[in-house]
Every structure is written in structure tokens, then in C-alpha cells.
Amino acid sequence: MSTPRLEARGLVAGYGAAEAVLRGVDLALEHGVFTCVLGPNGAGKTTLLRAMLGTLAPRAGQVLLEGRPLREVPPRERARRVAYVPQVPTSAFAFTVRELVAMGRHAHQGALGLASFADREAVERALARTGARDLADRTLDELSGGEAQCAMIARALAQAPSVLLLDEPTSHLDLRNQLLVYDLIRDLAHEEGVAVLCIGHDVNLAARHADRLLLLRDGRVLSAGPPAEVLRSEVLSACYGVDVDLVDPGDGPPLVRARARRGE
């Protein structure tokens, strides 16, 4: 088996002197595979993403980028391989979408950030790939939430990454835009071969799009694998602390229906 693009081995991580948030997580992101992380609030999803991004140092265990310890990879070199999309698209300065997407080329350029032919091509391709070409001359605050998130994904794509990390990219989007963004992320994994790690907040949406699910609880992996294997009512009950029914929709992984436990 080939080396995973990005891999966590026995990852323990946390903040300051506080107790560790992640307590031994194993995770491998492979070429063309869309992995979605699920779990209740406080399970350590964002911490996992930050450790995989290299902004948080592991306390124990390792994060490996193509077999090399991530913290030893120089930032610019890392940025040519790993891209990140935050939860809420923000731009403090009034740049157009095309200018924002062009910033994805930062680690490929000299200090002045002057674009080469290859840079321009990568930007236009990323715009076209994410359907953001028509938005290219608008600023972020003129876009809907879904459009803005597509622009941010285009910016990440212009980085020409082999790994894409997304932090709940749909948490503030309406139903249609949630689907749009998840479809896009899946296509990037399957058609462009990007290894994708996405934090999800909607179990059903994640299950229908992702190739693999990872259930986190209290900083540990409760279950990991293809959606059909992970989605078992007793596992989900333990993970979220609710009663769970699974409904077979007939055309894919089971639908999850949650009920609050009585007396809680």
C-alpha cells in the first residue's frame, strides 16, 4: 500500500497546560478519498484539523505529510501540498474573488506575489472548477454564503494541494448550498484526486457524500470506515448521547434519525 498523503499516528494534542483534547487518534488521508469527521461538540474535531494543518504541535504521536513529520516541513512547502478552508469565509480587505483566489498561489510565488502564466492558469482553472468564474469580479460581501464558500474552496484549489482540509464548511449554509458544497468537495476528491478531510455537522449529508466517516468522541476514534459500516445505531447513540433510528432510504447509506433521550 502506498504512503498516505497525510497521516496521524497515535495523535495526542491539546492547548496550553490543559488536559489533552485528542487522546490517541489514527487517521490516514489517501489520494482521491473524501473523509468526513463527525462527533459531538467538544469531541476534538477542530483540534484534529489544526494538528493535521500543522498549526498545533502534537504532544505525542505524529502527523506525517507523505511520510515526513509535518512540523519539519517548511511552511511554504507545506502550503504547496495542504490547503485549508475555514468555517466562515472572511476577507477583511475588499478584494475581488479573483484576487482572493490568486492568493492561493502565495507559496508558489516570489515575495512580491507577481503572477506567472502558470499562476494565472491555476487561478482560472480553480474558478472554473468551482463554478466561481461568474463571481470573479465581485467582492466577498456581495456574495451569498454558498457562493463565498465556493470562492474560498477555489482559493484552496488554486494552491494545487494534494490534501484539502475543511472546517465545517457548510455550517452556516442553507440546504441547497450545503448540497452544492458537498457535491463540489466530493468531485474534487474523486475527479482531481485530492485527499479531503472535512469536518461535518450533518450526519446524513456527510454519509451520502463521503467515502469514509470518522466518529470522534472525547478525543478518541469511536468508529471509522465506509458510511455503511460506521452508521450503526448503537455507535451513533454512544457518540452523540441520543437515541438513534436508522431508516433505509433504498438508494444509499441509511438515514439517521435522532431522538433526545427522555429525562435528559
- Considering only 85-93, 127-135, 178-186, 213-221, which stretch makes contact with other proteins by CB under 8 A? 85-93
> Can you tell me which residue has the cell 475581488?
96
SS (H, E, C) 110-171: CCCCCCCHHHHHHHHHHHHHCCCHHHCCCEHHHCCHHHHHHHHHHHHHHCCCCEEEEECCCC
**Cβ(89)–Cβ(152) under 8 Å?**
yes
- Residues 53-82, interacting with other proteins (CB under 8 A): 53, 55, 75-80, 82
What's the DSSP call for residue 194? -
Q: Is 120 or 261 the residue whose CB approaches other proteins more closely?
A: 120
Which lies closer to other proteins via its Cβ, residue 185 or residue 215?
Answer: 185
Q: Is 96 in the site for other proteins (CB under 8 A)?
A: yes
The answer to whether 106 contacts other proteins (rule: CB under 8 A) is yes
Cα 89 to Cα 28, 76, 94, 144, 147, distances in angstroms: 27, 22, 13, 11, 10
Q: Under the criterion CB under 8 A, does residue 113 sit at the interface with other proteins?
A: yes
In this chain, which of 12, 20, 115, 255 binds other proteins, going by CB under 8 A?
115
- Kindly list the distances between the CA atom of residue 57 and the CA atoms of 49, 163, 189, 259, in Å, as whole numbers in the listed order: 12, 18, 27, 38
- C-beta closer to other proteins: residue 103 or 205: 103
Judged by beta carbon, residue 94 or residue 247, the one nearer other proteins is 94
CB closer to other proteins, 60 vs 88: 88
100 binds other proteins (CB under 8 A): yes
Spatial separation of the C-alpha atoms in residues 139 and 65, rounded to whole Å: 34
Q: Which stretch binds other proteins (CB under 8 A): 47-55, 191-199, 208-216, 224-232?
A: 47-55
If one asks whether residue 159 binds other proteins (CB under 8 A), the answer comes out as yes
Alpha helices in 194-242 (DSSP H): 203-209, 227-230, 233-240
Contacting positions for other proteins (CB under 8 A): 50, 53, 55, 75-80, 82-84, 86, 90-96, 99-100, 102-104, 106-107, 109, 111-115, 120, 137, 155, 159
